[in-house]
Structure 1
Amino acid sequence: MKSKNILIGCLVTVAIGLTSCKKDSENIFNMFTDVSVTYNALSPLSVTDYKLVNDGDMINIDYTITSANEDMYSITFERSVGSSSTQTRTTTAITDEGQRRQISGQFSLKMQRDGKTSFRVYPLNKLGYFMGDGGKTITVEVSPSYIHTVNRRVYFPDTATRVAPSFYSIKRSESFSYSNGQANAADIDFGLYRRMNVNPTTGAITYTYNIYALDANPNPLTVYDVSTWVKRPTKFSAPVTGGTNIYRNTIGSSSIIEEEAKKRTINLTQTTTNFVAGSIVFFLTPEGKYGVLHINSITKDLDGKPYIDISIKTQR
């Protein structure tokens, strides 16, 4: 009998535990039921749930928030890019006493980042605490507007065998050697070259690294005679050191590529100021497309042959 009572007690304990677990796993958004958020379709620019747009398009987020039992003191506008768990928030105080229980407003945005961006609008109370929004999120997706080519190798010239792929075509995302370069010259945007520097005091050897278009005059790498090659007149900016953050985080669409490029002077047929890992170089193709080249690293392969690893973002 005693064993039976113990068994019953254990079963009751397990049942209570399971009930508690179920309660703890309740969606947090369902715990705030006094606030409702409605996204209104007031114009063709309005987004109420999901919308596919093009780079540079304007959108409106027209909202109405109602609180049944508690006064609202501010409105937070939250943005999440892609699958990132990081949000950016802007909070605006409600100064009109007549809008403590219901408020309508609009956020107007120019979309300039490819992919999906999610938005939320919700109120905070007098203490700055979240009051609820029913878990409502709207998503705006920007259609692909640029081409992103990653981790391409361009080798430094091999003046002996001339088989090192030291020329590069941006639109083909392909490198060529001097041996097969002439047949593909119409597509080649730049070649790679380096200069050796010897310290007159210590004898230490260092190198400076640069790129040149085939129409550079004079040719900075005379050992490679390209005088009879077709010339593709791509223009470049001077290298921008420490440009990794701009490349990764700022440049997210075709329109941003152009905005950032136009902040620089793009008129060079060759760079001369040396680039290092993390440098970026803006360019303008003969077709009028802007782009940016990022130097990921300057290193050697397993055979000891030096090359640069690059990534490129180009307008479509």
Structure 2
Amino acid sequence: MTTRKILAFMSVLALATLASCRVESDNIFNMFDDVKVTYHDDSDYSVTDYRKYNDGDSVHISFTITSANRDMMKIVVESTTGNGGSNERNEVILQSNERRSYSGRLRLKMRRDGRATFRIFALDEKNVYMGDGYKSVTIEGAPSYTILADRKVYRPNADKPELPTFYAIAQGKAYTYAEGLANSSDIDFGIYARIDQTQANLGRLVFNLYSVSAEPNPYPSFDLSNWTKRRTLFSAPIRNAGGPSGIFNTTLVSSSRIEEEAKKQNINQTQTNLTEFTTALNAGTLLYFLTPEGKYGAILINQSTVDAANNEYLSISTKIQN
């Protein structure tokens, strides 16, 4: 009985001690209530919460940001693309008569497929965050191009006719020579390899690409005389275009951007004519192309490598306008 009383007393004492030590803290859900942000539906292009746009559409983000009790010294417009993949941040220094209420409008062109989220928040005189009204707006670019990743196109091998050495960009499919005639109206290019004769890389493979309309046929072991000659044209190879920061991933992000970048190049070749490994179609190399239908796109060489059976191939990714 005595033990139970002691335990009960200790429990009461512990509760009293905890209660007396409790510290009041700010509630994250209301500690920034001083700042309000309103997004206005004041034009045909406005977004107030979420809206989908087509490539090239105008986008308006009209807003008013207010602070009831404290002066705002700056407002910040922050945009995040995709799932937080990249951020852009722009600051506006406020004039003395704008520090309690500021209105503005962002005018943008939709130039990226996928989502981007914008939030507008205030900073005080110490550059301390004041709030964003717990609001943001999201715009989404409707799909305007097609990306097909990591397709394999094999070096021709007379002993292995089952290897697919031709490629149709729109279909995202590689074909063997035996399959080629029936599908030649879709096939954009084939590949072959030379042997490097330079001292530094003697014996290494030098991959090349050719349109099935190329004259003369750069790989005469394959007779293409009865094929439909689909005249897809290519640019000269561009180096260092791969990786997370390369133009394939960071710049070619919509149909309009693909076309804009492609038109900076001369797209007038039906084949590459590379003889050295250092300038061959290796990892990170990009070629722009123009199809007979007038669609622009890009081919990225991911790597030149071999499979488990020691068959040499190019791994490619493509982007093409829808």
**Interval of TM-score (by shorter of Structure 1 and Structure 2):** over 0.9
Cα RMSD between the aligned structures? 2.0
Quote the residue 1:87 is aligned against: 87
**Aligned match of 2:313:** 307
Indicate whether 1:51 and 2:51 are aligned. yes
- Deviation of the 1:15 alpha carbon: 7.2
**How far does residue 16 in structure 1 lie from its aligned partner after superposition?**
8.2
- Residues 305 and 221 (structure 1 numbering): CA distance in 2 closer, same or farther, change over 3 Å? same
2:220 alignment partner, SS class: coil
Equivalent residue for 1:209?
207
Partner of 1:295: 301
| 1:8 matched residue in structure 2 | 12
Q: CA shift at 1:88, angstroms?
A: 1.4
How far apart are the structure 2 equivalents of 1:65 and 1:110? 23
User: In the TM superposition, what is the alpha-carbon distance from 1:288 to its structure 2 partner?
Assistant: 0.6
Amino acid at match of 1:137: S
C-alpha distance in structure 2 between counterparts of 1:33 and 1:278, whole Å: 49
Is 1:279 the counterpart of 2:285 in the alignment? yes
Q: What is the CA distance between 1:250 and its match in structure 2?
A: 1.5
Alpha-carbon shift at residue 219 of structure 1 (Å): 1.1
Say if 2:195 and 2:202, in contact at 8 Å, map to a contact too.
Answer: no
TM, length-normalised to structure 1: 0.92
Rounded to whole Å, the distance in 2 between the matches of 1:202 and 1:236 is 28
Question: Partners of 1:112 and 1:224 in 2: how far apart?
Answer: 42
Per the alignment, residue 62 of structure 2 pairs with 62
Matched position secondary structure for 1:260? helix
Distance 1:142 1:154, change over 3 A: same
Q: Which runs of 5+ in 1 are unaligned?
A: none
What is the letter of the counterpart of residue 83 of structure 1?
Answer: N
1:256-300 per-residue CA deviation (whole Å, 9 max, x = no partner) reads 111111111111100124221011111011111111111111110
Q: How far, CA to CA, are the matches of 2:300 and 2:228 in structure 1? A: 26
CA contact (8 A) 1:241 1:275 kept: no
1:215-294 correspondence to structure 2 within 5 Å: 215-244=213-242, 245-273=246-274, 274-294=280-300
The number of aligned residues is: 310
Of 61-70 and 83-92, deviating more is 83-92
The TM-score, its normalising length taken from structure 2, stands at 0.91
Distance in structure 2 (CA, Å) of the matches to 1:40 and 1:101: 18
1:161 is displaced (CA, Å) by 3.8
Q: Percent identity?
A: 43
CA contact (8 A) 1:29 1:133 kept: no
Q: d(CA) in 1 for partners of 2:42 and 2:134?
A: 22
Aligned partner of residue 180 in structure 1, secondary structure: helix
Paired AA for residue 36 in structure 2: S
Aligned to 1:159: 158
Find the aligned partners of 2:123 and 2:209 in 1 and give their Cα distance.
54
